[in-house]
Amino acid sequence: MRQPSRTDPLFVAVESAAITRAHVAGLVAGRIAAVRVPGLLPAARCHAITAALADAEMDRYDESRVFPVVAKFGPAINDHRDGGDLRDDYWEAARAAEKGWSTLGLPDAPRELCLAAFRAAWPDVAPGRRHRREMHVGIVREINAGLQVHFDDAVREYAGRLLDAEVVAQLAFNIYVRVPPVGGETVLWRRRWQPDDEDLRIPGGYGYHESVADGAQSLTLRPALGEGFLFDPRHYHTVRPATDGRRISIGCFVGLTDDGRLALWS
Ligand SMILES: O=C(O)CCC(=O)C(=O)O
Ligand SMILES: [Fe+2]
């Protein structure tokens, strides 16, 4: 792939022991591209989660849209989207996931792990609300075969507004609780959606041919066990296939809302 001859010094990942207010503000402002938090979750906790998940019933993203397949635990908004709206079956799936998780005997639910990562950074962090109901927070995903190149932008995807508050900026957050020895990298390009990109859409899929990001500066994360990763998902991104082993993460979206709060959802 063509590499840019000049690079943007603001399109970089910073590494830190925790997510701070400056990181969240910097991502929203475009001052940085991503934040890596090595060891956000201790290895023993990661192992306990993956061990417990062996007894959990995982389902899959809608396979008519999400291929290669991605196993998951808990609802993903995009599996319950109907045009610009969120279908009611999202709420049933959210309740089922919370109930299912509570039987695993783990100290923290995915929701708590996600919220905890932001508490020191922002004065007001809570699950987003839609029609005054709390959104589900924390999806567990096993992305072994990789993702299509895509972007995430609730403003574009939910015309009728996803949350009660206006989301002025959206970030994506993941904690890697199991990482493959080879592969499974996250790649982020310094390129956002443009209308002509629709020519490069993968038929029936949720993503685009990789040439959509041709020539754009990129950064690659090789996730480490327990690492947290926060980025602006309007930048095209993908996950490379894990050639061996499993790649399991717990993640959510993080919205900065017009009332200055951080609202999380999955
Ligand atoms: O698993 C990852 O590293 C990124 C997954 C992704 O597409 C997202 O969190 O929006
Ligand atoms: Fe994404």
55: confidence class by pLDDT, cuts 50, 70, 90: confident
> In whole angstroms, what separates CA 183 from the centre of its chain?
18
CATH number assigned to the domain with residue range 13-265, chosen from the 4 options 3.40.1350.10, 3.40.50.720, 2.60.120.620, 3.20.20.30: 2.60.120.620
Closest-CA residue, ligand 1 atom 8, reads: 172
d(CA 114, CA 52): 18
Closest-CA residue, ligand 1 atom 10, reads: 172
Structural domain spans, the chain: 13-265
pLDDT per position as a tens digit, 110-151: 999 999 999 999 989 999 999 999 999 999 999 999 999 999
The reported pLDDT for the residue numbered 56 is 86
**Mean pLDDT, residues 221-250 taken together:** 97
Nearest to 240 by CA among 211, 225, 220: 220
For the chain, what percent of residues have pLDDT higher than 70?
Answer: 99
152: CA distance to ligand 2 center in Å?
Answer: 5
> Which range, of 54-58, 111-115, 166-170, 244-248, averages the lowest pLDDT?
54-58
**Mean pLDDT, residues 253-261 taken together:** 97
Average pLDDT over the chain, rounded to an integer? 96
Which ligand sits closest to the CA of 254? Answer: 1
**Residue 58 burial (C-beta neighbours within 10 Å; 0-12, 13-18, 19+):** middle
Pairwise pLDDT comparison (178 vs 56), residue with the higher score? 178
The reported pLDDT for the residue numbered 248 is 97
Residue 105, Ramachandran bin (φ over 0: left; ψ between -120 and 50: alpha; else beta): left
Above 70 in pLDDT, residue 2? Answer: no
Give the DSSP letter string of 83-125.
TTEE-THHHHHHHHHHHHHHTS--SS-HHHHHHHHHHTT-S-E
SS3 of 188-210: EEEEECCHHHHHHECCCCCCECH
Ligand 1 interacting residues, C-beta cut-off 6 A: 143, 147, 152, 172, 174, 186, 229, 233, 237, 239, 249, 251
